[in-house]
Structure 1
Amino acid sequence: MKNSIYILLLAVLTLASCKNEPSKEEIALQKQIEAYDLLMTEAMDVHDEIMPKMGELIELKGELVASKEGAELSEGQLMKLDATAGNLKASHDGMMDWMADYSEKFPYGEPSPETKADLDKKMPVLEQEVVEIKELRDHTMTAITNAKEILAN
């Protein structure tokens, strides 16, 4: 009986000590997957930051258009109003285009790539999407600020 316990204990210890350590390639792949997941989160965080501004863009554009009606404005003032309204519209359209493009490239619920080949294919596309949404955020915030300044005067 004691021998059976010793043999069983030895077998358990042997199995426990034989666990496979991940290779350098597996560790590198895991780090790449984690970086991919962080970029996905970053893209959605920036999206979530500016998405609520879409209604404000439309509202401000309407206010700019309405401010032209019945007002005596110089040609320069009219051009400035039109340019500002155009920037608001461009920001709104840009967001709609970005979301359509992003969801086509990265469908909702799609799991992270699990192979180096898939990561090598998807990572540059994701990096570009993050750059684009950040640029769109900056353009949107600037357009809103400019519209508010014009309407305040």
Structure 2
Amino acid sequence: MKKNLCIAAIALIALAACKNQPTAAEVALTFQIETYTTLKTEAMQVHDEIMPKMGELMELRGELTANEPEFISKEAYIKEISTAAEYLKASHDAMMSWMQDYSEKFPYGDPTPETKEAMDKKLPLLEQEVKEIKDLKEQTLKAIEMAQELLRK
């Protein structure tokens, strides 16, 4: 009986020692998948922050072109308004372009890449998209600030 118990114990220890450890490639792929998931979430969070501001961009553009203060020359005001209105429109157009580009590269419901080869193709694209949406957020906020400052004049 002791002999069987010893054999069973040795077998259990051997099984525990032989537990499949992930390879370096598997660990790296897991890290890439986690990074990919985090970046997709980040891109959508930034998108969700600035998307509601698209209406505000167009409203401010309308207000800018409708108002004309009397205390500065018409030419100077038209130049300032024109610049601000163009910046607002450019921010709006850039958001629309970003959304189209993003949805083409990362269609809704598209699964996370599961192989190193697929991840090596998609992850750099996603990193670029996140950078672009962050830059777009900054551009949008600056455009809004510029327009609001002009409207306070």
What's 2:143 paired with?
143
Q: Is the 8 A contact 2:54 2:92 kept in 1?
A: yes
**What are structure 2's unaligned runs of at least 5 residues?**
none
SS of the equivalent of 2:67 reads helix
- Per the TM alignment, residue 90 of structure 1 is displaced from its structure 2 partner at its CA by 0.7
User: 1:23-59 CA deviation, whole Å, 9 max, x = no partner?
Assistant: 1110111011111111111111111111111111111
User: 1:60-89 CA deviation, whole Å, 9 max, x = no partner?
Assistant: 011011114999842121011011011111
What's 2:81 paired with?
81
CA RMSD of aligned residues (A): 2.5
Structure 1 stretches of 4+ with a deviation exceeding 3 A read 3-18, 68-73
TM-score (normalised: structure 1):
0.86
Distance 2:68 2:99 in 1: 32
User: 1:97-119 CA deviation, whole Å, 9 max, x = no partner?
Assistant: 10011000000111111111111
Q: Does 1:61 align with 2:61?
A: yes
Which segment drifts farther, 109-118 or 11-20? 11-20
What's 2:19 paired with?
19
Identity of aligned residues (%): 55
- Per the TM alignment, residue 18 of structure 1 is displaced from its structure 2 partner at its CA by 3.8
What's 1:52 paired with?
52
What's 2:118 paired with?
118
Distance 1:13 1:82 in 2: 77
- Number of residues of Structure 1 aligned to a counterpart in Structure 2: 153
Distance 2:68 2:92 in 1: 21
2:103 maps to a residue whose letter is S
Distance 1:15 1:73 in 2: 86
